[in-house]
Structure 1
Amino acid sequence: MSAGATGPFRALRVRNFRLFALGQVVSVAGTWMMVVAQDWLVLGLTDDSASALATVTALQFTPLLLLTLYGGRLADRHDKRALLTLTNVVSGALALPLALLVLTGGARLWHVYVFACALGVVNAVEVPTRMAFVGELVGPELLPNASALSAAYFNVARIAGPALSGLLITAVGIGWVMLVNAVSYVGTVVGLRLMSTAELRRGPRGGDRARIVDGLRHVRERRDLLVPMALLAAVALFGLNFQLTLPLLAKSVYHADASSFGLLTTVFAAGSLAAALVATGRRARPSARLVAGSAVVFGVLEAGVGRASSYPVAVVVLFLTGGASIYFVQAANHRIQLGSAPEFRGRVLALYTLILQGSTPLGALLLGRIMQHGGARAGFLTGGLVTLVAGAVALAVGSRGEAREPDARPVLPAEEQRARP
Structure 2
Amino acid sequence: MRDKLTADSATASSPRPPAAMDIGFFCRGQDLVGRTFASLKYRNYAIWFAASLVANTGGWMQRTAQNWLVMSDLTNNDAFAVGIVTALQFVPIPFIMPLAGALADRLDKRKMVVLTQFGMLLTAVALGVLVLLGWANVLVVCLFALAIGVIQSFDNPPRLVFISELVPPRWLPNAVGLNSMSFNIARLIGPALGGLLIGIIGTGWVFIINGIMFGATLIALALMRPEEFHPAPRPEKKVSAIQGTIDGLRYVGNRSDLLVIFAVVGVVSCLAMNTPLTTVSMSTMEFHADSTQFGIVSSMVAVGSLSGAVVGARRTKQPRVRSVVGAGVAMGIAVTANALAPNLLIYTLTLVPVGFFMLIMLTAANAAVQMSTSPQMRGRVVSLYQTVNQGVTPIGSLVVGGISGAAGARWGVGIGAIGCLVATVGAYLWGRRKWDVEVHYRVRHPFQLEILGPLEHENEEREAELRANRTGQTDSGQSFTAEDHDEVEADLFEPEDEAHDAETGHSPQRAGGLEWQDTHEEPDVDGHPNAAPAAETKETRDE
Give me the TM-score of the superposition, normalised by structure 2. 0.70
Are the aligned partners of 2:318 and 2:512 in contact in 1 as well (CA < 8 Å)?
Answer: no
Q: Which amino acid aligns with 2:69?
A: L
Aligned partner of 2:48 in structure 1 is 20
Distance 1:51 1:42 in 2: 10
After superposition, the C-alpha distances for 1:255-302 in whole angstroms (9 at most, x for unaligned) are 543x65554443321211111111122122223233112112212323
Q: Which runs of 4+ in 1 moved over 6 A?
A: none
CA distance in 1, matches of 2:137, 2:414: 33
> Which range is displaced more, 322-331 or 395-404?
395-404
Using CA pairs under 8 Å that are at least 6 residues apart, name the structure with larger relative contact order, 1 or 2.
1
> Contact 1:51–1:368 at 8 Å: present in 2 too?
no
Report if aligned partners of 1:289, 1:399 keep a CA contact under 8 Å in 2: no
Kept in 2, the 8 Å contact 1:72–1:350? The answer is yes
Structure 1 pair 105–246 and aligned structure 2 pair: CA distance change class (3 A): farther
Query: 2:483 maps to what in 1?
Result: none
Secondary structure in structure 1 of the residue aligned to 2:220: helix
CA distance in 2: counterparts of 1:116 and 1:242, whole angstroms: 21
Aligned pair 1:358/2:391, yes or no? yes
Paired amino acid for 1:118: A
Return the letter of the residue paired with 2:317. Answer: A
Any conservation in 1 of the 2:170–2:317 contact (CA below 8 Å)? no
Maintained 8 Å contact 2:276/2:298: no
Q: Distance in 1 between matches of 2:167 and 2:310?
A: 18
Cα 1:102–1:266, aligned 2, differ >3 Å: closer, same or farther? farther
Distance 1:326 1:415 in 2: 26
**Equivalent-residue separation in structure 2 for 1:52 and 1:321 (angstroms):** 29
Deviation, structure 1 residue 225: 1.1
Q: Structure 1 residue 97: deviation in Å?
A: 2.6
- Select the residue among 36, 49, 60 that pairs with 2:89: 60
Report matched runs for 1:111-190 at 5 Å: 111-190=140-219
Of stretches 75-84 and 100-109 in structure 1, the one that deviates more from structure 2 is 100-109
Q: Which stretch shows the higher mean deviation, 80-89 or 365-374?
A: 365-374
- Do structure 1's residue 347 and structure 2's residue 448 form an aligned pair? no
Query: What secondary structure is seen at the aligned counterpart in 1 of 2:317?
Result: coil
**Secondary structure in 2 matching 1:39:** helix
8 Å Cα contact 2:169-2:516 kept in structure 1? no
Could you list the runs of 5+ residues in structure 2 that have no partner in the other structure? 1-32, 438-491, 497-507, 523-543
Q: Considering fraction of residues, name the structure with more helix.
A: 1
Q: CA deviation at 1:170?
A: 4.1
Is 1:409 the counterpart of 2:438 in the alignment? Answer: no
For 1:208, the equivalent position in structure 2 comes to 238
- State the Cα distance separating 1:172 from its structure 2 match: 4.1
Following superposition, the deviation at residue 416 of structure 1 comes to: 4.5
SS state of the match for residue 138, structure 1? coil
Uncovered stretches (5+) of structure 1, i.e. residues with no partner: none
Give TM-score, length-normalised by structure 1. 0.89
After TM superposition, the structure 1 stretch with the greater mean CA deviation from structure 2, 57-66 or 172-181, is: 172-181
Structure number with bigger Rg:
2
Partner deviation per Cα, 1:101-157 (whole Å, 9 max, x = no partner): 444554322222212211111111111111110001112111011001111111111
1:304·1:381 contact (CA, 8 Å) conserved in 2? no
CA RMSD in angstroms, aligned pairs only: 2.6
Identical aligned residues as a percent: 36
The separation in 2 between residues aligned to 1:383 and 1:101, in whole angstroms, is 39
The match for 1:293 among 297, 317, 326 is 326
1:314-329 aligned at under 5 Å gives the runs 314-329=347-362
CA contact (8 A) 1:91 1:185 kept: yes
* Paired position in structure 1 for 2:400: 367
Q: What are the Cα deviations for residues 215-235 of structure 1, in whole angstroms up to 9, with x where unaligned? A: 111111111111111111111
Structure 2 distance, partners of 1:327, 1:19, is 24
Aligned partners of 1:374 and 1:171: how far apart in 2?
41
| Distance change >3 Å, CA 164–CA 354, structure 1 → 2 | same
